Structure 1
Amino acid sequence: MGHLGNTKDAMKHAAALKIGLMIAVGAGLAGCTSIRESRGYVIDQTLMQTVQPGIDNRRSVEGTLGRPSFTSQYGDQTWYYVSSVTGRRPFVRPTTRDHSVLAVKFDNAGNVTEVERSGMENVVILRPDGDETPTLGRERSFLEDLFGNIGQVGAPGAGGAGPGG
């Protein structure tokens, strides 16, 4: 009976080990899943399609879509509704998965003249080259920056040796 009891204990131990391993793998995979974040205007396609040129005005657009993300400062009066969906894995920079812009243009009387929709096709992704921005001038060390002006103020030929000089 002692031999049979050891076999059952070993089987229970192996089953517990398998379950623990499955939980650890599941938790590890859950930690690697992407985090989805919506930014800006929350898009409702049905409402966006109801805005019509020649029919709507500022008040009806604001009543339907709400206040815009931002408005134009120059040129034609345009309201922009901007929405982005990003995905990010832990410890990695977020990437844009979806981006849309609804531009509603108004005439001087406040009536809708044009509605434009655009998406990811107009997004430009900039990737900086390196960690430093190149500048003109010479490269100075930390000590040169720290002690560079010692002796420069009031030195002969520096354009004035003090008051009245």
Structure 2
Amino acid sequence: MVQFPKNTGFPALKAAVAVLALPALLGGCTSITDRRGYVADPVLTGAITPGLDNRESVRGTLGQPSFTSQFGDPVYYYVASTTEQRVFGQPQIEVHQVIKVAFDPSGTVNSVTFAGKDDVRDINPDGDKTPTLGRHRGFLQDLFGNIGAVGAAGAAPVGGPNGS
């Protein structure tokens, strides 16, 4: 066994190890920031003028939209989100921004609106089943329901391909 003489700097070694270990321990207390989506530039978004710009000029200025509307008048959506996650925690949305550029049927910009985190709605589905129209059939009815239906009335005519 090695014996250290007293007062030879061994406490200084402990202090040095503690100083080096402290940043590593505190590094686990930081949060992870994640940015996703469109990086908005206030100068560019402010340059979009309703009544003057069209779809092509908006794409040229702001770039490809995050997504577009599927129904009704055409709308471009530019979505950005910033989340933070603490150690062993769930990610929390810190910043959420949506830029909505609406067009009239001719393709001219109708309006430019901005939405933030306060405009986000929390949707809680009711139950774990989705109601559907139609018959309610069980597993066995689905499995054996088509037996005898193949070749039933309305199938191919009897005889050759020319009906003879």
Normalising by structure 2, we get a TM-score of: 0.69
Q: How does 1:21-32 map to 2 (within 5 A)?
A: 21-32=18-29
1:83 Cα shift? 0.4
Equivalent in the alignment of 2:101 = 104
Aligned pair partner of 2:47 in 42, 46, 50:
50
In 1, the alpha carbon distance for the partners of 2:15 and 2:124 equals 45
2:85 aligned residue: 88
Unaligned runs of 5+ in 2: 130-138, 141-147, 149-164
SS in 2 for 1:91: coil
Which of 60, 72, 75 lines up with 2:57 in the alignment?
Answer: 60
Q: 2:6 maps to which residue?
A: 6
Give the superposed CA RMSD: 2.6
* Residues in 1 aligned to 2:120 and 2:18: alpha-carbon distance in whole angstroms: 43
Percent identity (aligned): 42
**Matches of 2:48 and 2:110, distance apart in 1:** 10
SS in 1 for 2:51: coil
| Cα distance in structure 2, aligned partners of 1:127 and 1:18 | 53
Cα deviation code 1:59-97 (max 9, x no counterpart): 110001111000011112100000000001232110000
Count of residue pairs brought into register by the alignment: 129
Instruction: Compute the displacement of 1:36 (Å).
Output: 0.7
Aligned to 1:70: 67
Distance 1:92 1:74, change over 3 A: same
Q: Give 2:151's aligned residue.
A: none
Separation in 1, partners of 2:105, 2:83:
36
In structure 1, the gaps of 5 or more residues are 136-148, 153-162
The one-character-per-residue Cα deviations of 1:81-132 (angstroms, maximum 9, x if unpaired) are 000000012321100000000000011111101000011111234689xxxx
Runs of 4+ in structure 1 deviating by more than 4 angstroms, as ranges, are 125-128
Question: 1:111-122, aligned counterparts within 5 Å?
Answer: 111-122=108-119
Kindly tell me: are residues 89 and 81 of structure 1, through their superposed partners in 2, closer, same or farther at Cα, counting changes over 3 Å?
same
TM-score, structure 1 as length reference: 0.69
Separation in structure 2 between the aligned mates of residue 126 and residue 108 of structure 1, nearest angstrom:
31
**In the TM superposition, what whole-angstrom CA distance separates every residue of 1:25-54 from its partner, at most 9, and x where no partner exists?**
211111220111111112222211111101
